[in-house]
Amino acid sequence: MSELKVYNSYAREKQVFTPITPGHVGMYVCGPTVSGESHLGHARPYITFDVVYRYLTYLGYKVRYVRNITDAGHFEEEGREAEDKVSKKAILEKLEPMELVQKYTNLFHWAMQQFNTLPPSIEPTATGHIVEQIGMIQEIIRAGYAYEVNGSVYFDVKKYAASHDYGKLSGRVIEDLLETTRDLEGQEEKRDRADFALWKNAAPEHIMRWQSPWGVGFPGWHIECSAMATKYLGSQFDIHGGGMDLMFPHHESEIAQSTICNHVAPVRYWMHNNMITIDGKKMGKSYNNYITLTQMFDGSNPVLTKAYHPMVIRFFVLQTHYRSTLDFSNDALQASEKGLRRLWDAYEALEKMGQQSTGGAQAGDAAMDEKVLRLVNEFDEFMNDDFSTAKVLANMFELVPVINSMKDKTIPVTALSAATFERLLTRFRLYINDILGLKSVTEADNDRLQGVMQLLIDIRKEAKSRKDFATSDKIRNQLTALGILLKDEKDGNTSYTFD
RNA sequence: GGUCCUUUGGCCGAGUGGCUAGGCAGAGCUCUGCAAAAGCUCGUACAGCGGUUCGAAUCCGCUAGGGACCUCCA
């Protein structure tokens, strides 16, 4: 089997993945800011890195997956209102800040569950790690790379850049950064405009505030990730993931802080997912063009022509490579919906055949046998090539006609050797469930409904055997009108699906 | 303005210089009481111009369009 290669944003190339500690992987992914509801764009990194997590686990690594919850809030506009998102919203909604944060955290967890993402190993909150953040800031001051002004602490970027490669991750030139003109209040506190806040003095109206060596305030927005990653993964860890839009300044600053504090570059492999766009533009709050996850699930956003099942969205995301932009459209989602259903139907048929069949020791159709084996074995190859889920899915779709033909007996099951059939079944099952993390879209029907359906199917079958097509068609047509589709299978059975 | 990325068939999207990914939609056929589903067959696309090469969607240059970051951002 080939080696796992990961595209490292820091090096701008695919590199063979070698963990620091053999057999173990430390992975940190920037989590949500729970000052509001998550939207479709947010779903992408969590689905992407969920698959990364699942795949690394499949490869046999013991993975510690850390994903933070940013509940401390950051500046709306630095210095302007001296108010962070969380506290501002809290006043509007007449809620305690922590109550608000809890509400959106719960909503986030619920959505992640809908997407069938595995919970991270550790999900630390920023508010729960104020002590660690303060400790880290003190360390940076002690090292001489930060300075205090009026109860705020800033990181000295110019000094850092003199001996370190600030800007390498995001491809920025330090001179340009120093020149960038941007007039904001509070800017004059900084020695240089490229400097960023490690700790901010809190104005009286600021609700979220903590005691610190520099007075009452709150942490700057990069320090939490550095502090929590260091605490749970060590000074240097394997993978850091997040959206491309976080490369600068967030990740760049994270590198600087951690490097000064821990005397070593914090991350071996930086991974960044691309954006979800809508009409070619990045979906995001600044553009006010986002669709929240609950809206996606219930179809309540005006942009949507219908509701989309979370699994359809997951599938939609996985059909594209994570480093490409993914354009949202109803047409694209609906294509995914149909595609996923077709894929899942074939998978279920495969499971059913697995219960009875088998081929012999020899393949009845050597070419077919070989093709199936190749398609199935390529799953790992594609995943090893920087997690090409799109290609894995393409191969799965190539297997669909083979599976369906065996189900319809157009191709005898014995075309494949017993060993190949077994491999097809186990690999397909492993990938669709455990690695891609897909699930059935159809609602889990309850026993009573199943009984009713079976009754109708039996009545219709009897009618058909009497050639009473009026009755049989009535049953089927009425059910179709209700959104239940009856299908007479080739084997004489009748199956049904819900719209 | 600076830095970087991108442009693939009706739509969405893979694409490692040579062997036309895949999905959705569409057409035809087979199967079928009729449907539906399924199976088979069909579209030879790579923004434009020029260059490198025996050979380019894939490398280089120019032109045009789109986008991202530089500010909170997944």
Residue showing tokens 């159709």: A365
Q: Tell whether the torsion through CA atoms of A98, A102, A104 and A105 is positive or negative.
A: positive
Rg (CA), chain A: 27
Q: Does the CB of A320 fall within 7 Å of any strand B atom? A: yes
What pLDDT score was predicted for residue A190? 86
| Phi, psi for residue A89 in degrees, rounded to 5 | -60, -35
CATH code of the domain containing A366? 1.10.730
Instruction: Determine, yes or no, domain membership for A283.
Output: no
Instruction: Determine, yes or no, domain membership for A282.
Output: no
User: ipTM of the assembly?
Assistant: 0.94
- Encoded tokens for A421: 């059939």
Claim to verify: residue A429 and residue A460 sit in the same structural domain: no
- C-alpha–C-alpha distance, residues A287 and A75, integer Å: 18
Claim to verify: residue A422 and residue A490 sit in the same structural domain: no
Instruction: Determine, yes or no, domain membership for A475.
Output: yes
Number of domains in chain A: 3
Residue showing tokens 């006043």: A91
- C-alpha–C-alpha distance, residues A117 and A364, integer Å: 40
Q: Does the CB of A309 fall within 7 Å of any strand B atom? A: no
A330-349 residues near strand B (Cβ < 7 Å):
331-332, 334-336, 338-339, 342, 345-346
Within 10 Å of residue A327's Cβ, how many Cβ atoms? 15
- Encoded tokens for A409: 């007996």
- C-alpha–C-alpha distance, residues A80 and A100, integer Å: 23
Q: Which residues of A287-321 are buried (b: 16+ CB within 10 A; e: fewer)?
A: eebbbbbbbbbeeeeeebeeebbbbbbbbbbbbbb
State, as a whole number of angstroms, the distance between the CA of A390 and the C1' of B21: 10
State which nucleotides on strand B lie below 7 Å from a protein beta carbon. 1-4, 11-15, 21-25, 31-40, 66-74
A90-149 residues near strand B (Cβ < 7 Å):
none
Which nucleotide is nearest, taking the CA of residue A32 and each C1'? B74
Contact A239, A6 (CB under 8 A): yes
| Listed residue (A262, A142, A150) closest to A254, CA to CA | A262
pLDDT in tens, chain A (499 residues): 679 999 999 998 899 999 999 999 999 999 999 988 999 999 999 999 999 999 999 999 999 999 999 998 643 323 334 345 666 666 666 667 788 889 999 999 999 999 999 999 999 999 999 999 999 999 999 999 999 999 999 999 999 999 999 999 998 887 777 765 454 545 678 888 889 999 999 887 777 889 999 999 999 989 999 999 999 999 999 999 999 999 999 999 999 999 999 999 999 999 999 999 998 899 998 889 999 999 999 999 999 999 999 999 999 999 999 999 999 999 999 999 999 999 999 999 999 999 886 778 888 899 999 999 999 999 999 999 999 999 999 999 999 999 999 998 899 989 999 999 999 999 999 999 999 999 998 766 677 888 888 899 999 999 998 989 999 999 998 988 888 888 888 777 888 887 7
A81-100 residues near strand B (Cβ < 7 Å):
85
Q: Quote the domain boundaries for residue A399.
A: 293-435
Instruction: Determine, yes or no, domain membership for A442.
Output: no
Q: In A385-468, which residue ranges form alpha helices assigned H by DSSP?
A: 389-407, 418-429, 447-465
Q: Does the CB of A273 fall within 7 Å of any strand B atom? A: yes
State, as a whole number of angstroms, the distance between the CA of A391 and the C1' of B45: 19
Within 10 Å of residue A417's Cβ, how many Cβ atoms? 21
Instruction: Determine, yes or no, domain membership for A286.
Output: no
Q: Does the CB of A472 fall within 7 Å of any strand B atom? A: yes
State, as a whole number of angstroms, the distance between the CA of A315 and the C1' of B57: 26
Final residue of a structural domain among A381, A413, A435: A435
What pLDDT score was predicted for residue A77? 29
Backbone torsion region of residue A401, taken as left when φ is above 0, otherwise alpha when ψ lies between -120 and 50, otherwise beta: alpha
What pLDDT score was predicted for residue A141? 96
- Encoded tokens for A74: 């950051």
What pLDDT score was predicted for residue A171? 85
What pLDDT score was predicted for residue A119? 98
What pLDDT score was predicted for residue A328? 94
